[in-house]
Structure 1
């Protein structure tokens, strides 16, 4: 419980601080800052696509942009939602839409899917998303990830390649796609030694790197994406200046960039659902299985959004 001395949960008090290249510190987002960078980039919608961790990022974004309400109805098990962010109380010309869709593997099929009724149409829940994405007339910032639901490199690579091909087939060259890297959990998150961040990746790897749930394969998955996007960038050459609407500036295909949250997240074993902050939450003493993958909010996923915002500033012609 909060006290005068410790009013905030400890996992919310850490900051990602750059000590080698101080000018490269992560900039934190709020509503005004996000409204400005979306306007500078010419984007009128941000679309979060992914599994339950992607939903976590979407909810974090909603809160970081100053909203006190929950983006979905309290008690609703429908994971998908869409809300408008109001940028100016006097008019709506700079408002932007936030769309969140759950898909644990980014695949689509004709099978019924309903999380509330436990209808799974893939390894878990893969709600349709492509029609909703491509039918929107304005430019979109698209945050995507498959989720940690693949046990083989081949299956992951095929799914990622199919996703990129699908994006290109929609002919939305002015959209910006950020692929969020896949992050593992921390199998010992409930132990006292895991109640604060690791000082380095080596500290993480020494105790937490595990083949449980194929978490150890995520390094290879992320490496494949990084190399594929680097090759794509070389093929495309120089990009247009974001926000330039002139016909001569339209690129041949959408820009796809890497949003690499892996390094900062593996160093955060604290703040998980089973980290011991909540007596009723799954933990080593409860009869429920431990959850050392998902985080409470506020928590580490907030920094995924801050990193995203910093990346958008780098893409924006206006910068800071």
Structure 2
């Protein structure tokens, strides 16, 4: 809107000009508010992979208002998967016996693989993520490094709260740590402890970090619907409040099983309110993006020889990822859910509301991994070890960078950092 004022006329009708000026200001404010609301709707309706259009790191670091480590929000958005069998040998496999054993389907398929000359390890484990931002490479999680960063951040407990994809992230972490340093509760394999030996040697001074995994859905159903209510049951509340002053690292997610954007918005709000109402400002809450499904993932036949294994390569670029609009499982809505979530978390943090929320953006890097699904029966979940392990590598890298960028204060409270240190402007 462009409004010109005639100074000559305003000299004689100052009152009228003043009223006109006030009206223009009010209309501009209202337009700005409407644009803000529209932005949230556009974030939800997005159906195209979002490439990072932000300035380069050199420009960001000149801005004193931005975070010290811009990789907190740039990592994992633009990059490529490079085949590296040395990586597969050194970091891509789980130690046997597994902490959490494979199910029957996994044993019949991915678990049946036998090494060969051209594939000494399963192909899905031989791909290493290389970020196009040279300073933003994902670091590889190891027990020693993970224990050190958790100690630096003063994390005493870890909670995974979400759907089956978050459950897979917990399983991958347990199996990555290995049976010598990750002990399960004999009555509940979703309740375990990570053992951080002091100086690399087990002893009486070992640091024990309880790790708990809980599905988001409860037994209660919303009135007049078939949707289960999101709530923290007594187990989750007890785990969070065992020691009220402790810091909990909570990785949470919803999104993969929603068929209506309004239902997603409503339940995301419920989840965030549950966390806010716990009044635990010292905790680290990290929302993991909903990972994409891949239509028609290979192999498509149950007669496939899993002993030989696949020779499928990841997609080369983000534009190659496609999912049909109106997909039967609504996978085409996942990116919109993620964009809406980022917007909501950013606005929450910008307003100075507690607690602080962080966002682990694994969508783009996982969109390229059509090669490792539990096909032919499942093109949403992944075989393990495989792409989900990179979510844990990314989680470790994020925490490591956060521990360097953030500064601890008081009894383990983190200084207020906007989501992934990114400003809204």
1:226 paired with 2:342, answer yes
> What RMSD in Å do the two structures reach over aligned CA positions?
3.0
Q: Do the aligned residues in 1 keep the contact of 2:181 with 2:194 (CA within 8 Å)?
A: no
1:314 counterpart residue number: 401
Q: 2 CA distance for matches of 1:270 and 1:156?
A: 28
Deviation, 1:38, is 0.5
1:216 paired with 2:332, answer yes
1:249 counterpart residue number: none
Select the residue among 90, 95, 106 that pairs with 2:208: 95
Q: TM-score, normalised by structure 2?
A: 0.59
1:195 match: secondary structure: coil
2:250 counterpart residue number: 142
Structure with the larger helix share? 2
Distance 1:170 1:123, change over 3 A: closer
Deviation, 1:300, is 0.2
1:213 match: secondary structure: coil
2:270 counterpart residue number: 162
1:60 match: secondary structure: helix
Q: TM-score, normalised by structure 1?
A: 0.77
Deviation string 1:45-82 (CA, Å, 9 cap, x unpaired) is 111111111111001111222336996699x9x67323
1:150 match: secondary structure: coil
1:267 counterpart residue number: 368
1:81 paired with 2:81, answer no
Select the residue among 292, 302, 308 that pairs with 2:379: 292
Q: 2 CA distance for matches of 1:199 and 1:51?
A: 28
Q: 2 CA distance for matches of 1:171 and 1:184?
A: 32
1:131 paired with 2:234, answer no
Distance 1:145 1:22, change over 3 A: same
Q: Count the aligned residue pairs.
A: 274
Q: Do the aligned residues in 1 keep the contact of 2:195 with 2:207 (CA within 8 Å)?
A: no
1:246 counterpart residue number: none
Deviation, 1:311, is 0.7
Structure with the larger strand share? 2
Deviation string 1:68-98 (CA, Å, 9 cap, x unpaired) is 6996699x9x673233333331234533111
1:116 counterpart residue number: none
1:180 paired with 2:293, answer no
Deviation, 1:233, is 2.3
Q: 2 CA distance for matches of 1:34 and 1:209?
A: 40
Q: Do the aligned residues in 2 keep the contact of 1:273 with 1:295 (CA within 8 Å)?
A: yes
Structure 1 or 2, whichever has the larger Rg, is 2
Deviation string 1:143-200 (CA, Å, 9 cap, x unpaired) is 0012411111111111111111111111100000000111221121125899221011
Q: 2 CA distance for matches of 1:124 and 1:291?
A: 26
